[in-house]
Each structure stands twice: as C-alpha cells, then as structure tokens.
Amino acid sequence: MKALKATVLVAALVAAVGIFAVISKSADAAGPDRELRASTPTPTPAPVVTATATATATATPTPTPNPDDDIIRVEAELVNLNVRVVDRNNRTINDVPEKDFKIFEDGVPQTIDFFSRSEVPTNYALVLDNSGSMRAQLDKVIEAGKILIDKNKPEDETEIVRFIGRDKITIEQPFTTNKADLQDSLDNLFIEGGQTAIIDAVYLAVENVDKYQESKKMEDRRRRAIVLVTDGEDRDSYYNEKQLTDLLRESEVQIYVVGFLGDLSKEGGIIRKSPQEKAKAFLQRIADESGGKTYFPADVSELPDIAKQISGELRTQYSIGYIPTNDRKDGKFRSIKVVVADGPNGQKRIPVTRAGRTADNENGPPSLAKPSNTTNLPKN
C-alpha cells in the first residue's frame, strides 16, 4: 500500500514538472513581445494620404489650424461705374478724393473696392443719322466727328456707324486707332432716304461697343461710349425703348447725344406732347439712363465746341468699382446712387453716372460662359 502511494506521488510529481515545463516554454515564447509593448509602445506611423485615403483612429492628431493661414476662394463681379462730377454751372470738377464718394445700391451702402482718377483708354462709336432730315447738318457733323477723332489718345479706338432705317445700319469703319482711316470713312458718308430707326441703331451699337475687347480684368479697363448724332425722331425701329433701356442697364456704355430738333414740329396739345418735345425727352432718357449727356445745339456752328466738350467729358471721369453686397442672381434691377460730399466753402458737387444695373439671372437663357474671375484672398 505504501509502495502504491509512493508510485502515485512520483507520477503526480513528474506530471506537474511536465506541465510547468510546457507553461514555462510557452511563456518564454510570448513574454518578451508583450512586455515590450507595455513598456515601450511602438510608434504608429503617420497615415499616407492619397486621393482615396480615409482617416483612421490611429492617425496622428492634426495641429489646430491658424485662421490667418486659411484661404477663401471668392468669385464675385466688380460693378464698374464711370462718374462725372460737376458744379451747379455744369463745370467739371476733377479733384474729388475717394473719401468724399459714397455708393448706394438699392439704398444699401457699398464698399468702394476700386477708385481711379487716371485716364483710361476709350472705345466709342460715332453713330450718325444719315437720313434725309439730316441733309442740312451733314457737313458740320462730319467736321465735328473729325475734331472728336483728332482728340483721341494713342490707345483710344473708334468705330463709325451709319444708319437710316432698320435695314440700313452699317459699320462704315470697324474699331481702329488709325485716325486717317476714320476720317476717310467720315468723308464717304452721304444722305439717303428712309424711315429713321434710332433705337435699332443705338441698340446694335451698344451691343457692339460693350462686347469689343470685353474683359473683367482690372488692368484691361476701358471706358465705353456712343456719340449719337440725330434729329431724335424714331419712325421704324424693330426694338422698343424698354428693350433699349434694359440693355443699357446690363452694359457700361455711356451715351452722348447731339440732337438737332429744330426741324421737328413744336405743335402739341394739352395732353399730347409735340414731336419735338417727345424726341427731346426720349434722347434725354437714354442719356440719363447710361450716365451720359445731351447737347441740343441751336445751330450747326456749335458742333466744333460740342465735340471738344464730349472729348473732355470722356476723359475727365472717375472710375469706381464695388463688389455688391446683394450677390443674388435674380435678374432684377438694382438702383445705383452716388453721393459726393460738398467741396470747400460749401461748393455743390453733383455726381452723374448710370441709374442702375440689372443683376445676372441664373435661370435665364443659356449663354457661353466667360472665364471665371477668381481671386484668392487671405481670410481676415
């Protein structure tokens, strides 16, 4: 019995030793790695970011960004205004500082982002009525046109547009800086019978002037204008005045009008305006809408002086730009008002510019997209 107990005891001891050896061997195999991870963690490599990479929980924390380093992509259209400033006697004032100007759009103050008193190149069209009613004035009109062209600066470009009826509106000389070519074109003008289409001629000329050398870059800025010479009575236009007004609100073209109204009837009624009154009111409206000016000479002998005045008006304006606070593309009209503070000794300074603008319409008809004018600005 004692021998059996001893045998069992020895067997149990041998088994225990064997189990201990197995456990020890297993511990020897696994122990070093476990202890290394616990005492000295292996650094997790920073994830490699690719186009399709997804952040993981083991990613190294990203440093808090500095707001000053952020970049904002701004896509906005600068509204450009050509502003004349005159006194009570309609004399030009050329020394108004930027701080004295205020711009309002639909009554809301706007921040001036661009301001310049320097001369910029001018693109303008001479739009000349060659209908029978202008027969007596044509020679003086040609002379005045030559005076205006002679005042052109080297980078100014002019085109000559001749019109009678809606079917006879022609570019006699495309835009050019060559004064000799322009003057030769004026010499070749002649009177022709037809029903005058003033609105059509102005509409097509505005489109042409607005699109020529079109650019939204500030360094490419050009002043754009039309000098219209006519007797003011429209008889056969395809377009109507509202369509012309809508176009003017979408463009930066100013209209300067020389109207010979003396041959139109002054007879009207208590309610009905005379043909002369209607023609004058129409020409005044389109000039005012565009920020231009009207001249109604009593005699053709006044034309040379008028030509000099128009040349001066085109080159003594303030260029002002702002990014509108209302950037909705709803196709609606925005009224524009420019206010200028009184000058020294209470001098009244009167700004003259276009009456407003029509916003782009994102739901309008499709059109060929213009290059995006995108500016990277540091965030404030």
Over residues 162-178, the pLDDT tens digits come to 999 999 999 999 999 99
- Residue range 69-117, pLDDT digits in tens: 454 444 567 888 989 898 998 888 888 999 999 999 999 999 999 898 8
pLDDT of residue 214: 73
pLDDT of residue 379: 43
Measured distance CA(116)–CA(36) in Å, rounded: 72
- Residue range 210-236, pLDDT digits in tens: 999 776 555 557 889 999 999 888 998
* Residue 156, burial from CB neighbour count under 10 angstroms (0-12, 13-18, 19+): buried
pLDDT of residue 374: 39
pLDDT of residue 51: 38
Residue range 58-66: mean pLDDT, rounded: 51
Residue range 178-182: mean pLDDT, rounded: 97
Domain boundaries, the chain: 71-115+324-350+357-362+372-378, 120-317
Would you give the end-to-end CA distance of the chain in angstroms? Answer: 98
pLDDT of residue 219: 55
Residue range 144-165: mean pLDDT, rounded: 94
Q: Cβ(83)–Cβ(353) under 8 Å?
A: yes
pLDDT of residue 43: 40
CATH topology of domain 120-317: Rossmann fold (3.40.50)
Measured distance CA(131)–CA(135) in Å, rounded: 7
| Cα 98 to the center of its chain, rounded Å | 20
Q: What secondary structure letter does DSSP report for 131? A: B
